[in-house]
C-alpha cells in the first residue's frame, strides 16, 4: 500500500510530496506525473514515479494499486471534469483504499462557475462508492502574491468590492493534505480549508504598499472591465470570466472563511498574507 499523489510535479503536488516525506519513509510515497524528466528531482528523493496523464485512461489504469491511498489534485484544463472521472474510474478498478480530492471551499454550496467541476467531481466520487476525503480548499495566497511584479507597476485590480478573502499559503494546504493522507479518522469527511484571518483587496494592496515602500492601490472595476483587463493580460476569455466569477463570489462572502479546519489539521496557525507578501518580495 502506498500514498499516491497525482499531478505530483505541479505547485501543490511538489509541496505535498515534501510534506509527506517529513512524515513517512520515501518508499511509502508514489508520485504520478506526465513527464519523467520533470519528476526526476522527486525520484532523487527515493520516491517511485509512475507516468500517467489525466487524458490517458490506459496509463491511469497502471498508476494505482489495490490498497493505495490516492490524492487526486484537481486539473487545470477545460476538460478536467472528464479527466477527474478517468482518475476515479482507474482508482475504483484498482481497488484503492481511499481517494482524497482537492475540491473547493463550500463544496456544493459554492455557486460560482469555477466550482462547478469540483462539485461534479465530488459527486462522481460519491457515486463510485470509494472511501473518500474532500479537501475543500479556499483561495491560495499565491493567486495574488505571484502577481506582485505587475501589482507594483499597475496596482491591484479586481471586481470583488469590499469582499473578504480567507486565503492561506499553498504550503498550508499541502500540509493539510499530508496529514489527511497519513492519518486515520478522515474517511467520509469533507474539510472546509481556509486561512485563519481574512482581508479585502484594498487591505492587501495597502500591505503590499507598506512592505514595498511603493504606492499600490486597489482599483475595483466592473465585471466587464475586469474581464477586459484579464483578456488584455493574455487570459483566454472563458478563463477570464471564471476569475471574474470568483471575484463576484468574494464580493458575496463565499471565500471569507468557513471555520478553522485548516489550522486544526496542520496543528498551527495558517500563514498570514503579510508573510507571503514578504516572501514574494524577498525572492524578486
Domain of 59, CATH number, reads: 3.40.50.720
Tell me: the pLDDT tens digits for 30-58?
999 999 999 999 999 999 999 999 999 99
* β-strand partners of 3: 29, 69
Q: Give the separation between CA 107 and CA 85, rounded to whole angstroms.
A: 17
Confidence tier at 284 by pLDDT (50, 70, 90)? confident
pLDDT at 184 over 90: yes
In a domain, 61, yes or no: yes
Q: What is the DSSP letter of 77?
A: S
Range of the domain at 54: 3-137+169-193
Contacts of 264 (CB under 8 A, 6+ apart): none
In a domain, 177, yes or no: yes
Contacts of 234 (CB under 8 A, 6+ apart): none
Percent of the chain with pLDDT over 70: 100
Q: How much is the pLDDT for 1? A: 84
Q: Do residues 142 and 118 lie in contact, with contact meaning Cβ atoms separated by under 8 Å?
A: no
Q: How much is the pLDDT for 78? A: 83
Round the average pLDDT of the chain to a whole number and report it. 97
Q: Give the separation between CA 188 and CA 165, rounded to whole angstroms.
A: 27
Q: Give the separation between CA 70 and CA 105, rounded to whole angstroms.
A: 20
In a domain, 51, yes or no: yes
Alpha-carbon distance values, 214 to 103, 151, 182, 207, 211 (Å): 36, 10, 44, 10, 8
List the grid coordinates of 149: 511584479
* Residue for grid cell 475586469: 226
Which sign, positive or negative, has the C-alpha torsion 7, 12, 14, 17? negative
Confidence tier at 275 by pLDDT (50, 70, 90)? very high
Helix (H) or strand (E) holding 150: helix 148-154
Confidence tier at 118 by pLDDT (50, 70, 90)? very high
In a domain, 276, yes or no: no
Please state the rounded mean pLDDT for residues 105-134.
97
In a domain, 218, yes or no: no
Instruction: Please count the structural domains in the chain.
Output: 1
For 194, phi and psi rounded to 5 degrees?
Answer: -155, 170
In a domain, 251, yes or no: no
Q: How much is the pLDDT for 149? A: 96
Tell me: the pLDDT tens digits for 211-257?
999 999 999 999 999 999 999 999 999 999 999 999 999 999 999 99
Q: What is the pTM of this model?
A: 0.96
* Residue for grid cell 520533470: 38
In a domain, 94, yes or no: yes
Q: Give the separation between CA 205 and CA 219, rounded to whole angstroms.
A: 10
CA–centroid distance for 249 within its chain: 17
Instruction: For residue 151, give the 3-state DSSP assignment.
Output: helix
| Dihedral, CA of residue 100, residue 70, residue 98 and residue 77, to nearest 10 | 50
Q: Do residues 25 and 31 lie in contact, with contact meaning Cβ atoms separated by under 8 Å?
A: no
Q: Give the separation between CA 138 and CA 159, rounded to whole angstroms.
A: 18
Amino acid at each position: 500500500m502506498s500514498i499516491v499523489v497525482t499531478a505530483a510535479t505541479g505547485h501543490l503536488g511538489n509541496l505535498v510530496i515534501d510534506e509527506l516525506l517529513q512524515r513517512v519513509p520515501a518508499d511509502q510515497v508514489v508520485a504520478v506525473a506526465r513527464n519523467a524528466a520533470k519528476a526526476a528531482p522527486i525520484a532523487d528523493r527515493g520516491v517511485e514515479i509512475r507516468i500517467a496523464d489525466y487524458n490517458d485512461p490506459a496509463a491511469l489504469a497502471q498508476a494505482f494499486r489495490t490498497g493505495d491511498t490516492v490524492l487526486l489534485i484537481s486539473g487545470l484544463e477545460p476538460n478536467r471534469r472528464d479527466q477527474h472521472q478517468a482518475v476515479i474510474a482507474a482508482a475504483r478498478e484498482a481497488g484503492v483504499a481511499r481517494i482524497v480530492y482537492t475540491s473547493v471551499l463550500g463544496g456544493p454550496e459554492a455557486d460560482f462557475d469555477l466550482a462547478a467541476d469540483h462539485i461534479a467531481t465530488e459527486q462522481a466520487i460519491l457515486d463510485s462508492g470509494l472511501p473518500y476525503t474532500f479537501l475543500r480548499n479556499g483561495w491560495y495566497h499565491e493567486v495574488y502574491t505571484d502577481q506582485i511584479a505587475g501589482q507594483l507597476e499597475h496596482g491591484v485590480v479586481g471586481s470583488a468590492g469590499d469582499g473578504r478573502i480567507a486565503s492561506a499559503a499553498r504550503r498550508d494546504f499541502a500540509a493539510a493534505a499530508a496529514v489527511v493522507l497519513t492519518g486515520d479518522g478522515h474517511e467520509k469527511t469533507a474539510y472546509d480549508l481556509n486561512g485563519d484571518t481574512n482581508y479585502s483587496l484594498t487591505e492587501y494592496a495597502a500591505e503590499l504598499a507598506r512592505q514595498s515602500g511603493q504606492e499600490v492601490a486597489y482599483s475595483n472595476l466592473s465585471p466587464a472591465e475586469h474581464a477586459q483587463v484579464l483578456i488584455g493580460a493574455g487570459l483566454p476569455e472563458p478563463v477570464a470570466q471564471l476569475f471574474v466569477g470568483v471575484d463576484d463570489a468574494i464580493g458575496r462572502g463565499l471565500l471569507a472563511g468557513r471555520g478553522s479546519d485548516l489550522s486544526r489539521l496542520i496543528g498551527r496557525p495558517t500563514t498570514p498574507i503579510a508573510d507571503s507578501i514578504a516572501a514574494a518580495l524577498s525572492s524578486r
